[in-house]
Structure 1
Amino acid sequence: MLLELIEYHWAEDIDDVLLLLGRLDVKTVPLAGGTYLLGLQDDSIEAVVDLRDLDLASISEDARGVHIGAMTTLQQIADAPLLRDFATGLLARSAYASSSSRLIRNSATIGGL
């Protein structure tokens, strides 16, 4: 459970993320909401790259359809007026039902890391 963590990186752009994740000398993983990583039993992870500041949390609609960013939390999906109306509210209801804990839904992202 991240016991061997030696590096924490706060990414400011996607190019930084790709460079850090592409390293071969340090096992590095992306950090989104963190709920998935906390459950891992992988003590070989040495570094994380925090993705919070990359503007990947969004819900929008255009002529092509509805777009949900990978860093959008389950609670944002559950609360989004757009998703309550889209497909009879299936996405919003599913996000709400995914966890009985609002704390988890506030952390867990649709991209899941």
Structure 2
Amino acid sequence: MWGSEGGEDQINAASDFVWPMQEVVTRYCFGETWTREGLSRKARSMVTLGILVAQGRPHELKVHVRGALANGVSKEEIGEVLRHAMVYCGIPRGVEAFRSASEVLKELGLD
């Protein structure tokens, strides 16, 4: 999602305490899951955004908005995913998701 350098940065920055968690994330999440055939990275990013709205995870949503943009998801598509998720997950979670995504888009000069 962030390229090999982004993954390597996460691995290199992991302390002894954090390493076991980072290994799971690197191996299973981004290794085995994100590299599977069947869904494009763009589709996986869009699904992930919806799931993070449902879970109410604004920090992770911000991280994955950046990843979604890197995976070819447009600003407009991000908005559509968030609106769609808001209907099924609830207005407060949708509002929080839009606030988080707007922060990232503004930081990147896209809002």
Common topology (TM > 0.5): no
Comparing both chains, which one has the higher relative contact order based on Cα–Cα distances under 8 Å and sequence gaps of 6 or more? 1
Q: What TM-score, normalized by structure 2, do the two folds share?
A: 0.30
Q: What TM-score, normalized by structure 1, do the two folds share?
A: 0.29
- The structure with the largest alpha-carbon Rg is 1
Q: Which has the higher strand share?
A: 1
